[in-house]
């Protein structure tokens, strides 16, 4: 099961959004705190200025009226508010403390009763009464703040920009990962565009260089194998012709068998060296399996029985030539080294279509399973003289990967060898034109 944030892009999204949320919350708290401090300081400065202005007015022009909302009250007036409690809100408590710090020592500061216009009552040691001046309202934090709207807009814009940057960063890596997957499956891999940061460009350049060198080595090996196999066909044909003219029937049959074994090895060399995409027409696998088994029985009437268990249906299709080579190599391998009956199965699983061939022989030793698909490796030295070159399972694995699938070789719990090939749904049903276009078409589609 694929997790949504298991990719590089998903983890970049988590990191970016987490950092943005953390920074925005921190800035919001700092701004709110500083705004409250600024508001308190402004209210304190305004109150101190008004109190000093009233005192100057009383001292210099006592006969002149005071400005609106500014007044003096006698000490014994019943309107004088009570001494503030300790449970008043923290902003109001801080305002009173700051105001006392700015006024002379011994000044009594009180706030008017709730419900009226916000004002502060001040009585100093030299004042004959209470000086009442208005103050800026010190409101507690509101449930809704316009700053939250601005922060939400800034946060959304930053997230979109960060996601675009993360996508731009991971896109070259995704292309490189897809190319590595194709190269690992043995499929033709076009050069990956070198883009992104410097380290990523260097990595892509090294991968492209490695693909070119490996492809050149593969081409040289394929040309060598094909050339040797092709050059051997002519002398083998002459040997067979001369063997047919021999008078000794027993010797003639022995030579013909040896020539046929050598011809089979040459044919395997040619198939293994074949490195081009299969351009044959896709055919339903179930129907083609039935035809191949009928043809196999007709050509070799005395071979071991082959059972069919075909459950995939007509939706499972593969190129005809690839399917013929896969089944012919697997049937030859099962008949040569396995035990009857040989079972061909097709079915649909969660990962894709499955084509498997199994026998009921002894199977392969667990330590040798990893070497079973290596070219030119014979797990049984006694098999060397039977026209086998150690290429059968190697050809099967290469053909399966060329067709976009995966090959798994293992022993059955009840005995015998089982070769299972899994083909993804999008590969097994790919149109012929796209198959012939190869990976270049896939690259353009990304």
pLDDT in tens, 119-158: 888 888 888 888 888 887 665 545 456 667 777 888 788 8
Q: Which of 104, 134, 164 delimits the end of a domain? A: 134
- Say yes or no to pLDDT of 415 above 80: yes
Alpha-carbon distance 42 to 99, whole Å? Answer: 11
In a domain, 314, yes or no: yes
Q: Which of 81, 116, 134 delimits the end of a domain? A: 134
Mean pLDDT of the chain: 77
Range of weakest confidence among 92-101, 159-168, 208-217, 292-301:
292-301
- Say yes or no to pLDDT of 42 above 50: yes
Neighbours of 5 (CB within 10 A): 10
User: With the C-alpha atoms ordered 50, 56, 57, 58, is the resulting torsion angle positive or negative?
Assistant: positive
In a domain, 217, yes or no: no
Domain of 386 in residue numbering reads as 279-445
In a domain, 224, yes or no: no
In a domain, 107, yes or no: yes
CATH code, domain carrying 385 = 3.30.565.10
Contact 175, 147 (CB under 8 A): no
Contact 297, 303 (CB under 8 A): yes
Joined tokens for residue 126: 């030299």
Number of domains, the chain? 2
In a domain, 309, yes or no: yes
pTM of the model: 0.46
Contact 442, 175 (CB under 8 A): no
More confident residue, 420 or 199: 420
pLDDT, position 446: 34
In a domain, 173, yes or no: no
Cα 331 to chain centroid distance, Å, stands at 39
Alpha-carbon distance 268 to 389, whole Å? Answer: 8
């Amino acid at each position: 099961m694929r997790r949504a944030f298991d990719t590089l892009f998903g983890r970049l999204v988590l990191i970016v959004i987490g950092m943005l949320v953390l920074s925005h919350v921190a800035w919001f708290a700092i701004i709110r705190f500083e705004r409250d401090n600024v508001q308190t300081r402004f209210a304190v400065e305004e109150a101190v200025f008004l109190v000093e202005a009233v005192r100057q007015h009383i001292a210099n022009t006592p006969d002149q009226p005071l400005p609106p909302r500014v007044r003096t009250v006698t000490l014994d007036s019943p309107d004088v508010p009570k001494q503030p409690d300790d449970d008043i809100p923290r902003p109001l408590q801080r305002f009173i403390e700051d105001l006392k710090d700015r006024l002379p020592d011994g000044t009594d500061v009180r706030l008017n009763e709730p419900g009226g216009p916000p004002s502060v009552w001040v009585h100093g040691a030299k004042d004959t009464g209470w000086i009442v001046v208005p103050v800026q309202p010190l409101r507690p934090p509101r449930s809704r703040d316009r700053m939250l709207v601005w922060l939400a807009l800034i946060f959304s814009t930053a997230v979109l920009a960060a996601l675009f940057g993360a996508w731009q960063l991971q896109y070259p890596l995704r292309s490189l990962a897809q190319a590595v997957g194709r190269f690992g499956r043995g499929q033709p891999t076009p050069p990956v565009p070198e883009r992104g940061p410097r380290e990523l460009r260097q990595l892509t350049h090294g991968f492209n260089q490695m693909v070119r060198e490996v492809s050149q080595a593969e081409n040289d090996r394929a040309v060598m194998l094909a050339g040797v196999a092709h050059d051997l066909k002519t002398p083998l044909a002459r040997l067979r012709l001369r063997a047919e003219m021999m008078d000794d029937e027993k010797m003639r049959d022995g030579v013909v068998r040896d020539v046929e074994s050598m011809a089979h090895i040459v044919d395997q060399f040619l198939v293994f060296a074949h490195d081009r995409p299969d351009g044959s027409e896709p055919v339903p696998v179930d129907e083609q399996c039935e035809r191949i088994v009928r043809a196999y029985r007709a050509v070799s009437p005395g071979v071991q029985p082959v059972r069919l268990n075909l459950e995939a249906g007509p939706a499972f299709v593969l190129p005809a030539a690839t399917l013929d080579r896969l089944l012919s190599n697997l049937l030859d391998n099962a008949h040569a080294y396995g035990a009857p009956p040989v079972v061909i199965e097709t079915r649909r699983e969660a990962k894709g279509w499955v084509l498997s061939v199994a026998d009921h022989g002894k199977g392969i030793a667990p330590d040798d399973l990893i070497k079973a698909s290596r070219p030119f490796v014979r797990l049984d030295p006694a098999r060397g003289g039977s026209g086998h070159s150690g290429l059968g399972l190697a050809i099967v694995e290469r053909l399966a990967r060329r067709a976009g699938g995966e090959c798994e070789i293992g022993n059955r719990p009840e005995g015998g060898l089982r070769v299972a090939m899994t083909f993804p749904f999008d590969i097994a049903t790919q149109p012929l034109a796209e198959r012939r276009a190869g990976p270049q078409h896939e690259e353009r589609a990304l």
